[in-house]
Structure 1
Amino acid sequence: MESKKAHLAVIAGCTFYGMNGLFINRIHDMAIYPIIFYRLLFGLLFLFIYIAARGRISDLKLKKKKGSLLLQGMLVVTCMLLYFTCLKITCVSIAILLQYTAPVYVMLASPLILNEKIGKGSIAALFLAIAGIFLIVKPEGDFSGIELTGTYMLGIVAGLLSGVVFAALIMNVKILKTEYSELAIMFWPMGIAFLLLSPYAFDVSPGNLYGNLEVLAVFGIVSIGFGEIFTVLGLANLKAQTGSLLALIEPVSGVFFDIAVLGIGLSSETLAGCALIMVSAMFISLKDSKKIKKSEKVFF
């Protein structure tokens, strides 16, 4: 279990992120950008309290690679905007499928940027995971008869770019880890994203904001708070390729939360897709844990 802590952290964090649909379903009369802003607000407050409670405020001191921190915050916002643009123009299925092509880009770029080697096992796990994602989203969306109009192509391009940005976000965590602690990596980019999205704070009436305040607070704590803590702790201590594959647990957990809480039906294709992703995650986790030396300690 000691050798699998980082793997379990990513899985736990992505499970918290997978609850997004539960909260979105309970928020009424608010546009998506104000929702993201207030989610960040409550999430950041929780993160700061968590860091202060651990007596680690000194970890937030800015050091070198401030540009990489700024880049991480910009990547977070850009990934959100591209994903929701694709979602608005196309559909949920295509948006998820395109964003979670990120492991492909990570596997192609990490040998050049992070000097990580590509193993045959990682390639096999990648194919299993991508096939699983396709099976999960295919039942919800009909990909036949799509008219590739200018507007629709804009949505497709936005979705593809969201996957590229998501991959860059994962790899940049590894770059930041050489200079900053995990606490700083999780706090500052979210703070930058919060500032960039602050103009949307007033795109909601006081009455609607008050009516949704409790759900927004819990949303921020669960998603940005617990989700960010576990995910960053895990990603910072894993190969970028491994972390990107384990992140595919998020759509799987989202499917099961939808079934358990929202009562959405489960098709055989969706079940098969979830199984493929779980097998892929288990394979890459067991494979990597054997390589971790006993002397290496994961930050927890």
Structure 2
Amino acid sequence: MNKDRRSFLRNTSLATGLLLLQNPFRSLATINSNATWLPGDNREIMIWHTNDLHGQITDLRPANAQGVFLDAGDFLDDTANVDAHMKMIAAMNKAGYHAATIGNKELANGQAALAALIPHMQFNLVNCNYHFSDKSLARQVAPYKIVYAGSLKIGITGVGHALPASSGVTCLPPVQAANEMAIRLKKEQGCQIVICLSHLGYRQPGNTADNRDVAMESTHIDFVIGGHQQKIISTTEVFRNVNNHEVYLSQAGSNGVMVGTMKMKFNEDRKGCGIEPGCVMA
């Protein structure tokens, strides 16, 4: 069955605006060193997201905005020099990013070059399907990030597409890696939400995995933030995963023209009860 047919069968209307998360709320579990604590009222969380910034500094997120700020990769410009990279990282630090995944442009100058930039980042780089030959980079890239908003617990992971053999990066099957990490975040870490930053592209030919596959072929991912192909998803798409649960897919505009937003709402039992997707345009 081809991807378009699967998409037709599994994609659902956004009219309901409901997200019924698979697992009930679990009490906050192990304190994780790779965690951030944010203020929250336990009833909603705002997620701000970008992708494919390509070194374009954006200030579309309102000052003092609350919530989680994420990027789905290619935030650096592969043609820029180190000074330009440092300016971009400083801008992302100032904007308050919490996590980003790794795109091909971050690795354009080699693993060691990226490893040298990471100490200047006040946000985590997350990826669960790359194995790095550079030991310094391998130590500095986390398989996931935890964010607490009030007593809501959000798990964030990321995946990337296959890179040339010359990169020295071994790429595991991204959908399988993302799903296995999501299961770990839900069942072992007790997360209410799992977000995957997917730098695979919206639509890939044949059996090449894309962002839609991450949504449709998963079991425990709730929200996929896409990147790699320069496409704007004008309204959040809703897919059904293999367990027939809703999974959201969003992708903002490239080069800083748009910041996507997603407000996820919860009832008194901390079960998902609605969403408010949106965006801020330049």
* Pair in the same fold by TM > 0.5: no
Point out the structure with the larger strand share: 2
Q: Structure 1 length normalisation: TM-score?
A: 0.25
- Looking at both structures, which has the greater relative contact order when contacts are Cα pairs under 8 Å and sequence separation is at least 6? 1
Q: Which structure shows the bigger proportion of residues in helix conformation? A: 1
